[in-house]
Chain A
């Protein structure tokens, strides 16, 4: 887009910078300025600086960049007032950004962490939260081997049927079964949690602003309510939760689970692992997606470079040709 702007867009600016010649001389001067515009010595450095595309492009970039930076820092455009019905506390404290092992553009999940996180989910969160969209088979080749997953599934009883008598029966779980829910239905879940519904965790990382950062901050962010903050019985103070009063009490405490790989089970370690696991549950395609993205970027930038080259190659003779008009020679006197 910038290249379409005439290079002289900043000329107006330049004429401001230059001293105006007196009116009488101006016509002659203009002619000579045009004539020697490339060789006049006095202001040519300033002139070519102000005329250059690079100057125009960098001024534009500087402007756009500083507005974008301001907006990123303060969350709103500069010089434009805003009013909000919510106070920041009602929106919940913004979580800090944590250095996730899968945070970078080319970083895969840390699968040992997914495995530990599954253990935390199973031993802690699964008492209240379902994980409807994940089947046992999804864990295979991600965090567990087939035999391990088969064994884990078999420990759970599933209702199946009807058999040839038309009756439902119980059978051990199979790889194709989905994770068992802690409660048979929503009402039972609410009844056991003072009316609050523990949301399904399959997509929770995608479903909350701040994603993994928010959930990690939520799990590790419990503290005493500040003086003057009234909190109802059965509710818990958490600055990261919108409204700051959450029905889920703090669930992670140092040493709550015992990791098989010997990792010390601190609160933050367990929170990091379970969030990595939930992030995988919400984006199981994550690793493949990033790898495919890398391939796409390489291929498409190569193709772009080739097409730019071919365009220039094809247009070079057209752009550099000269059209010369030779008037018909005067044939002389008839």
Chain B
């Protein structure tokens, strides 16, 4: 029983599981992809964006 059989038996066999799995994976992927790209973007553009200089002009009230 390889990975594919396990995959087939646990997920793809029943549509009632297959469809929600696709939805959940899409949701998780889009969030993690966005988080990943954003963290790269913020590192690449360190110190240039508004969120990096905001603290100089705004004192957050507690």
Contacts and interface: CB of A to CB of B under 8 A. Distances in A.
The answer to whether A binds B is yes
Interface of A: 101, 106-112, 115, 141-145, 147-148, 261, 287, 291, 294-295, 298-299
Nearest to A261: B56
Interface stretch (B7-15, B20-28, B40-48): B40-48
Given A291-B41, A298-B37, A142 B48 contact: no
A261 B34 CA distance: 33
B37 A107 contact: no
B33 A295 contact: yes
A143 B52 CA distance: 11
Given A111-B49, A147-B58, 17 more contacts: A106-B45, A107-B44, A107-B48, A108-B45, A109-B48, A111-B50, A111-B53, A112-B53, A141-B50, A143-B50, A144-B57, A145-B58, A148-B57, A261-B56, A291-B38, A291-B41, A295-B33
Contacts, number: 44
B37 A295 contact: yes
Interface of B: 33-34, 37-38, 40-41, 44-45, 48-50, 52-54, 56-58
Contacts of A107: 44-45, 48
A182 B41 CA distance: 38
A16 to B, nearest CB: 53
B50 A142 contact: yes
Nearest to A147: B58
A146 to B, nearest CB: 9
Contact of A110 (B37, B38, B48, B58): B48
Interface of chain B: mostly helix, strand, loop or mixed? helix
A220 to B, nearest CB: 23
A110 B58 CA distance: 18
A112 B50 CA distance: 8
A119 to B, nearest CB: 13
Contacts of B50: 111, 141-143
A294 B37 contact: yes
A85 to B, nearest CB: 44
B54 A108 contact: no
Given A144-B57, A145-B54, A145-B58, A111 B37 contact: no
Given A110-B48, A111-B49, A294 B57 contact: no
Contacts of B33: 295, 298-299
Contacts of A111: 48-50, 52-53
A108 B49 contact: yes
Contacts of B53: 111-112, 115
A298 B37 CA distance: 10
Given A144-B57, A145-B54, A291 B37 contact: yes
The 10 closest A-B pairs by CB, nearest first: A108-B45, A110-B48, A145-B58, A111-B50, A145-B57, A112-B53, A291-B41, A295-B37, A108-B48, A106-B44
B30 to A, nearest CB: 10
Contacts of B34: 295
B31 to A, nearest CB: 13
Contacts of A141: 50
Nearest to B41: A291
A286 B37 CA distance: 16
16 contacts: A106-B41, A107-B44, A107-B45, A108-B45, A111-B50, A111-B52, A112-B48, A112-B53, A141-B50, A142-B50, A144-B57, A145-B54, A148-B57, A291-B38, A291-B41, A295-B37
Nearest to A108: B45
Contacts of B49: 108, 111, 287
Contacts of B41: 106, 108, 291, 294
Nearest to A287: B49
